[in-house]
Amino acid sequence: MTISSGEIPKEDQLDKHKITHLLLDLLLAGIETISTTLEWSMAELLNNPKVMSKGRAELEQVIGKGNQVQESDITRLPYLQAIVKETLRLHPALAVIPRKAEADVEICGYVVPKGAQVFINAWAIGRDPSIWDNPAKFRPERFLESNINVGGRTFEFVPFGGGRRICPGLPLATRMLHLMLASLLHSFVWKLEDGVTADTMNMEDKFGLTVQLDQPLRARPIAIN
């Protein structure tokens, strides 16, 4: 096949289009979801000063004042892990998880036909009062009292989905979230700006590609001596 200068075969154009979208998906899934969840974590902690104090106390006890948090330390920080889980319960980065039915199935009296597009509302599941006690309250202790994790095997908590189609970025996301949050809490004291207090913070959701804070969090770090 002879190709004139500057001419790209249609098959190559299609492949280039697919690769572009794949890279965009990886970029958005790998960066925006983590940054959004980290922002929610800090917002919830600033909105719940007692929880933040408890998390910082754990870090000081386990890591030691002035020491840098390492990835290997995370397994020794159960309360920090519970904070991340509680953030993901209330604020999953993706509010709905798309799936497709592989066969006809009946659920609660409704027939879902084969091939139907199904959206699992992870945001609503995490706030269901029939599953969670006082679901609107940010209480990391609930995860210290249970064995629920983000692995997708307990369907009341599916921030990353579950089964064979679980988010492939789960290991990276959880490592980065714990390490970044621990470093922020252990290295700085955080203060809200512009006269905002824990009682006046805007904690409303803004639904889009990811579930973000309606108003971006503005906080000032103060270095710990």
- What is the tens place of the pLDDT at every residue in 2-39? 434 455 455 555 566 666 655 555 555 556 788 889 99
Quote the pLDDT of residue 224: 78
Domain boundaries, the chain: 10-223
Is 167 annotated among the ligand-binding residues?
A: yes
Taking a C-beta distance cutoff of 8 angstroms, is the pair 155, 164 a contact?
Answer: no
DSSP strands (E only) in the chain: 96-100, 105-107, 110-112, 117-121, 188-192, 205-207, 211-213, 219-223
**Neighbouring C-beta atoms of residue 127, cutoff 10 Å:** 14
* Statement: residue 80 has pLDDT above 50: yes
Residue scoring higher pLDDT (169 or 136): 136
Tell me the mean pLDDT in the region 107-122.
91
pTM: 0.83
10-223 under CATH 1.10.630.10, yes or no: yes
Quote the pLDDT of residue 4: 44
The least confident of 5-14, 64-73, 166-175 is 5-14
Q: Give the Å distances, CA to CA, from 200 to 38, 47, 192.
A: 20, 9, 11
Which range, 71-85, 139-153, 192-206, is most confident? 71-85
Quote the pLDDT of residue 1: 37
